[in-house]
Amino acid sequence: MTASPIPFNRATLAPRQLAYLEQSSRSGQLAGDGPFSAAATKELSGLHNGAPVLLTPSCTAALELSALLLDIQPGDEVIVPSFTFSSTAGAFALMGARIVFADIDPVTLGIDAAQVAQLITDRTRAVVPVHYGGVPTPPGLRALADRHGLLLIEDNAHGLYGSLDGQPLGTFGHLSTLSFHNTKNITCGEGGALVVNDPALHERAEILREKGTDRARFFRGMVDKYSWVDVGSSYLLSDLNAAMLLAQLEFGAEIQARRQAAWDHYRAVVGPAAEARGATVFEPGPDVVNAYHLFVLLLPDLEARTALLKAAQEQGIGCTFHYVPLHSSAAGRKAGTAPLGCPVTDSVSDRLIRLPLFSDIGPADYERVADVMVRLLAN
């Protein structure tokens, strides 16, 4: 009997999720900022040292909200890593910014801080690091941004529950963004959040998120009616999605424990086989709490990666590659430039492979994945 394929990802159904969805549906309060939104926001704020959190329809929307806060003008530049999803750059290009692509560090796979320092000009407005796989980028980026009067906006789509030296990822920048997409540890199908670490940005972020109105101040009793006071758009997450999100957050510790079990098994079993083949395991350094979002191998070259990926898929193991460099993409070439080149990004993109990692994978499946990968790596 042929074993069933093991997908790369499958979303977890949290214990209270269906009950919360029914409760939300019956309440009639389906629009944004309802009771489930308030409860989920409180949970997320607690994970970010009490910082205000604004739920959004996606991480992309949270990044767009960040870009609106910059008041981009013609000629303004925003520095982002080339090795990331299109939204990291696209949200700022959409507002008119010129994107300056930076290379990544070969160990953290996050933005190269030394190159960022070289790329800052008098036109730079913000730096947007990505905590790839939940592995933190250098904490010194905040000090660099502050010295130059720039916003540091963390794209923390991968890093919920991760930390460095006890400080949660998403609390180093002036702003940070979260993703609750179907592929993330915590999901509501589509969803995101903006974490506002700089108090000076909070009131305007609320206004921009609520169609440019001061509606949030009205509901707090700070004004007797609300009106249109600024530019903005509709960046609220529906309370129905927030009901799913709350159930997932309440189940978060178990989700992380399950993912850790799979990650640890891969590291113990697949890691040595990969290293014997000349590959490396992408993993957090000291003083880092792993977010357990991805398990990544870096093969010696594109040929080895292509062969392993094909063989794994033929065995029903849902391995996959990751980002195509943005600096060499069609839209990336139009939206920006990579003045110093991105050779590490080009190399990593060719060599990276991700193993199936999701909360419900279970010992039988992750042990099977590991056994298949060890056998394939030995060939």
Q: Which helix (H) or strand (E) holds 126?
A: strand 124-127
Is the Cα torsion angle 93, 96, 101, 102 positive or negative in sign? Answer: negative
Task: Label residue 1 exposed, middle or buried (CB < 10 Å: 0-12, 13-18, 19+).
Answer: exposed
The answer on pLDDT for 189 being more than 70 is yes
- Predicted pLDDT of residue 296: 98
Burial class (CB in 10 A: 0-12, 13-18, 19+), 200: exposed
The one-letter code for the residue type at 44 is L
- Nearest in space to 56 (alpha carbons), one of 42, 71, 37, 30: 37
CB 197 within 8 A of CB 151: no
Phi, psi (rounded to 5 degrees) for 298:
-115, 110
Q: Of 3.40.640.10, 3.40.1130.10, 3.90.1150.10, 3.10.129.10, which CATH number belongs to 252-378?
A: 3.90.1150.10
* Average of per-residue pLDDT values in the chain: 96
Q: Do 129 and 110 touch, CB atoms closer than 8 A?
A: yes
pLDDT of res. 3 = 83
| Pairing mode of beta strands 296-298, 167-168 | unpaired
**Other Cβ atoms within 10 Å of 311 Cβ, number:** 17
The hierarchical CATH code for the domain 17-250 is 3.40.640.10
pLDDT at 1 over 60: no
Q: pLDDT tens for residues 56-79?
A: 999 999 999 999 999 999 899 999
Which pair of structure tokens corresponds to residue 124?
């730079």
Render pLDDT for 323-352 as a digit per residue (tens, 0 to 9).
999 999 999 999 999 999 999 999 999 999
pLDDT at residue 28, as a whole number:
87
Mean pLDDT, rounded, for 28-32: 89
Could you tell me where in the chain the CATH 3.90.1150.10 domains are found? 252-378
- Mean pLDDT, range 188-199, rounded to an integer: 98
Distance from C-alpha of 309 to C-alpha of 347, rounded to nearest angstrom: 17
- As given in the structure block, the two tokens for residue 86 are 């299109």
Would you say residue 2 has pLDDT above 70? no
Task: Summarize pLDDT for 111-123 with one digit per residue, the tens.
Answer: 999 999 999 999 9
Which residue from 99, 103, 88, 95 is spatially nearest to 157, judged by alpha carbons? 88
Backbone dihedral region of 319: left (phi > 0), alpha (psi from -120 to 50 degrees) or beta?
Answer: beta
User: Strands 53-56, 288-289: parallel, antiparallel or unpaired by DSSP?
Assistant: unpaired
**Quick one: pLDDT band at residue 15, thresholds 50, 70, 90?**
very high
Model confidence, pTM: 0.95
Instruction: Provide the residue count of the chain.
Output: 379
Q: Starting from the edge strand earliest in sequence, which strands make up the sheet with 163-164, in order?
A: 167-168, 163-164, 288-289
Contact 297, 282 (CB under 8 A): yes
User: Could you tell me where in the chain the CATH 3.40.640.10 domains are found?
Assistant: 17-250
